Amino acid sequence: MIVYKKTPHLRITRTQVPEPPYWAATTIAPYSPRRAAPIAVDYLDLRASCAERFEVSVCDNVRDDLERSTTRHPLHAPALIDAAEFAEVIFERGEDVLQFCAGQHVAAMQLVSARGALPRQVPDNAVITIAAWPLELARLGVLFAEAKERGLRWGVVIPIIFPVTTDLAALAQLAELARTYEASFFAGVPVELDATARNALAQSLTGEVRDDHFEMLFHSDLGPIRLATERHIAALAGEINAADFVIPPRWDRPTNWNAAVLLTLTASRILAMNRDEELAWRLTRSAKVVALLEKPIERVAQAASLSIIDSLDEISVDLLTEWLETGRSSFAGHIEKQWRLRRDSGV
């Protein structure tokens, strides 16, 4: 059961440095975090919980809240609008935020889910991210088809929740749907399960694998299976010619923010694969330097060289210089190829 109540509060979070998985400078949530039953996914904290009854807070007046908030602290692009789940179908507060961002010339990404709905009016520079939860292929196929028919920029985010979205057959079917309707990205997002969510998932298990899955839910570290599934999803993305990470709005532009995203993405994958930890932290520090840089790095590179930027390590200079010149980085591409690894490889 879900109970909705109006509230004047709008949750706005700002960050100076891009962070996975959404790479947003501003996050706007017109609803409270948990708003689905029985299993609710908090898409910002990346945590799932379960309850028979949820009380969902809904921002009463989005535009007034945003105008008050942006008087002293303007919105910075890219913005992420968390409008997942059925509350958006009823109240459409996420679409209100999207239109406000368009009026402020702030490129935004709106997050919807299988229970939700696509916004009716989507600005040209906006990105729609469809969260594949719950994993209902028929419903997701309808959303994918609508996104393609309307010519939207869109992609898929898969909350990695054992054992539902770690099933290889289900992921293959979802990838085929994404290929059919031309998703621009197909990415996995690991989600922690609290005790209530684990218990609900355990009770839903049936069949011969029930005992094994029950044991893993309560007595195993699910981190390795989440990581392996995230890399498997990345491999599927490569097979369907989609990006394997969430593409922020205006990704084709050589901005400081996009440069910092590329560095952070590469560094996070190096760390996750237990490769060169020192290199990963150097890239992370360089990403922070670039994100906070006052001058556009494209202009710096044209006038002189990125090496004149203090605290920017040599590998980051080479990576970003090639990226500015060609739109891609061979080093980042090398890490991407290593990252993409099917769980069933060798079977």
Lowest mean pLDDT among 131-135, 306-310, 331-335: 306-310
Question: pTM higher than 0.75, yes or no?
Answer: yes
Report whether 260 contacts 243 (CB < 8 A).
no
Distances (CA, A) of 62 to 6, 74, 105: 11, 15, 17
Instruction: For domain 2-239, give its CATH number from 3.20.20, 2.60.40, 3.30.519, 3.40.50.
Output: 3.20.20
Which residues in 7-30 are b (16+ Cβ under 10 Å) and which e? eeebbbeeeebbebbbbbbbbbbb
Q: Quick: pLDDT tens for 156-212.
A: 999 999 999 999 999 999 999 999 999 999 999 999 999 999 988 888 876 655 667
Domain boundaries, the chain: 2-239, 256-339
For tokens 């205006």, name the residue: 250
Instruction: Confirm whether 2-239 and 256-339 share one CATH topology.
Output: no
Would you call 207 exposed, middle or buried from its count of C-beta atoms within 10 A (0-12, 13-18, 19+)?
exposed
* Percent of the chain scoring above 90 in pLDDT: 77
Indicate the pLDDT class of residue 107, thresholds 50, 70 and 90.
very high
Residue 132 CA to residue 164 CA, distance in Å, equals: 11
Residue 201 CA to residue 301 CA, distance in Å, equals: 52
Q: Tell me what the mean pLDDT of segment 240-251 comes to.
A: 97
256-339 sits in which CATH class? mainly alpha
**Please, what is the angle between helix 168-180 and helix 137-149, to 10°?**
20
Per the prediction, the chain carries an average pLDDT of 92
Residues, the chain: 347
How many alpha carbons fall within 13 Å on the CB side of residue 36?
22
Residue 49 CA to residue 51 CA, distance in Å, equals: 7
Q: Phi and psi for 28 in degrees, rounded to 5?
A: -125, 125
Beta bridge partners of 6: 58
Tell how strand 192-193 and strand 186-190 pair up.
Answer: unpaired
Cα torsion angle, 208, 209, 214, 216, sign: positive
